[in-house]
Amino acid sequence: MDFQELLAFAERNPMLSLALVGLTVAIIYTEIARLFRGFKALRPAELTALINRDNALVVDLSPSGDFEKGHIAGSKSVQLSQFDPENKLLAAAKALPLVVVCRTGQASADAAKRLKKAGFEQVHWLDGGIAAWQQADLPLVKGRH
């Protein structure tokens, strides 16, 4: 296929061509935005390494009932409704690696953005949340601690 055939296709299918350009721009924008957002998504294995290597503080935003049913060992429970970057537990960890987790990864990504804006230096979130952790066959502990 040469450039003339490609141009002819674009002329015959303007909506399809426009959709392709729009999707390409959206993907490029998303990837560039991810590079500059200041916090990093972690996979479960990366989180395990960060906990073991750098003693990261893991903050679980799950509702208390879900937290008690299963959470990452050593994580601290902070209810999403009470999440505040100025929280005493969080404020003490401003220079430490801090990882925010939730059940699916959606709420924790938003919380990570808030922490970065509040001046936290090493902010991470568990991509896919506790569900991804379980899918990687990593253990959860039950109870309040």
Residue 86 maps to which CATH number?
3.40.250.10
59 & 8 share domain: no
Q: Is 66 marked active-site?
A: no
> What's the pLDDT score for residue 145?
63
21 & 70 share domain: no
22 & 45 share domain: no
Confidence of residue 3 (pLDDT cuts 50, 70, 90): confident
23 & 52 share domain: no
> What's the pLDDT score for residue 23?
92
83 & 19 share domain: no
Query: Over the stretch 109-126, which tens digit does the pLDDT of each residue have?
Result: 889 989 988 888 899 999
Phi-psi region of 121 (alpha: psi -120 to 50; beta: other; left: phi over 0): alpha
**45 pLDDT above the threshold of 90:** yes
Given 42, 57, 102, 107, which residue is catalytic?
A: 102
User: Does the predicted TM-score (pTM) go above 0.85?
Assistant: no
Count: domains in the chain? 2
Looking at the domain assignment, is residue 142 inside a domain?
no
Looking at the domain assignment, is residue 69 inside a domain?
yes
> What's the pLDDT score for residue 121?
86
Residue appearing with tokens 């959206």: 26
51 & 29 share domain: no
Strands (E), the chain: 40-42, 57-60, 76-77, 97-101, 122-126
Range of the domain at 128: 39-135
Rounded distance between C-alpha atoms, residue 101 and residue 76, angstroms = 10
**48 pLDDT above the threshold of 70:** yes
Cα-based torsion angle of the residue sequence 111, 121, 92, 56 in order, rounded to the nearest 10 degrees: 80
> What's the pLDDT score for residue 34?
63
97 & 114 share domain: yes
Query: Over the stretch 54-108, which tens digit does the pLDDT of each residue have?
Result: 989 999 999 999 999 999 999 999 988 888 888 887 887 888 899 999 999 889 9
127 & 80 share domain: yes
